[in-house]
Amino acid sequence: MKRIVLFTLLIMFALTGLNSAQVINNNYPFSLEYNPQRTLINTIKTPAGYQRYPSKKMDIYMAWITNLPLKPKEHPVVKCDKQILMGIDSISGVIDLSVTSKNQKDADLPVQLMFEYMRAIRQLKKYPFLLTATDTVTYGKWLNGSYTRDARGNLIYKKGEPRESDEREYYRYLEFVMAKNENKTLLHNLIPVDETDIAPGCLYIQFDPDDPDSTGHTALILDVAVNPDDEKDIRLLAGWGGNPAHNLYIARPYPVSKRQWFTLDEFKKRLSEYGNGKFYKFKVT
């Protein structure tokens, strides 16, 4: 409850000028089935003997991630074409976030969440996303022109007639970025995180930039539980999407049981087929 109150106060501060009803409605503009009781913090129980990640260490983005809305508990993992990919018995829930494209990849989901967060705090137009080490795009420029490539593949921005910021333009921009995004692209927007500093919103990326055959995999840390007697003893609530494009879901440790939280070793083992990985966080939150 303390974290929910903190999150609400931080968002209200960030959205100065909006009334309280607007704040509640705009925290998660992507949610099609929003229910304040059906969120990560309210639905997923803290493991016995542990406490949720300390509120005093949280920034707004971390709090926003830990309050993500969920689909109804009977909702399976579905692909872009609505075909069922995974049943409810092997997961802990599905995040109420639309699959925007049949080409959506696991590396796109953290980008989509970051963009949605920036929408919620009214900072998306200014938020810089790096496509390469030198090519940056923003939604604000997107609305006032277009991005193209020259014959050498360099990103070119051409100013044009201003367009209204609406759902259509937002999703066109999201699709534009995701079409150019991959694990290598994502790394330009992140900074490494030590395993002793894993927090909600961190990413676990299994990608070797020096290996041309490495396709990689990206998982999102949705929440962290800490042993109050040993802060190095943590449990992770994690989720990911993937190919074919499907819902972002909350994964469970193997072998699948009623347990919802991973130890760090269990988490790495669960994703070991993708190779070694490292933890990161977004540069700007």
- State residue 12's pLDDT score: 47
Closest to 110 in 3D by CA, of 168, 63, 174? 174
Specify whether the CB–CB gap between 90 and 258 falls below 8 A: no
- State residue 216's pLDDT score: 85
The secondary structure of residue 188, as a DSSP letter, is T
pLDDT-derived band at 2 (thresholds 50, 70, 90) equals low
Q: Where are the beta strands (DSSP E) in the chain?
A: 51-52, 77-78, 84-86, 93-94, 129-130, 136-137, 145-149, 155-159, 190-193, 203-206, 217-227, 230-240, 249-250, 278-282
Among 10-19, 28-37, 204-213, name the one with the lowest average pLDDT. Answer: 10-19
pLDDT at 4 over 80: no
Does residue 212 have a cis bond before it (omega within 30 degrees)?
no
Average pLDDT over residues 187-214: 91
Which pTM value belongs to this model?
Answer: 0.89
pLDDT at 194 over 90: yes
Q: What is the gyration radius of the CA atoms in the chain, in angstroms?
A: 19
Closest to 205 in 3D by CA, of 279, 269, 270? 279
What's the whole-number average pLDDT of the chain? 89
pLDDT in tens, 95-148: 999 888 888 999 999 999 999 999 999 999 999 999 999 999 999 999 999 998
Q: CA–CA separation, 141 vs 12, rounded Å?
A: 27
Beta bridge mates, 84: 78
Specify whether the CB–CB gap between 255 and 178 falls below 8 A: no
- State residue 138's pLDDT score: 97
Beta bridge mates, 225: 52, 235
Average pLDDT over residues 156-173: 94
- State residue 7's pLDDT score: 54
Within the chain, where are the H helices?
A: 2-14, 20-26, 40-43, 60-66, 108-120, 139-143, 167-180, 183-187, 264-270
- State residue 9's pLDDT score: 45
Q: CA–CA separation, 135 vs 216, rounded Å?
A: 22
pLDDT at 25 over 90: no
pLDDT in tens, 231-267: 999 999 999 998 889 999 999 998 888 899 999 999 9
Q: CA–CA separation, 41 vs 68, rounded Å?
A: 8
Closest to 137 in 3D by CA, of 96, 98, 179, 104? 179
pLDDT in tens, 258-284: 899 999 999 999 999 998 999 999 998
pLDDT at 164 over 90: yes
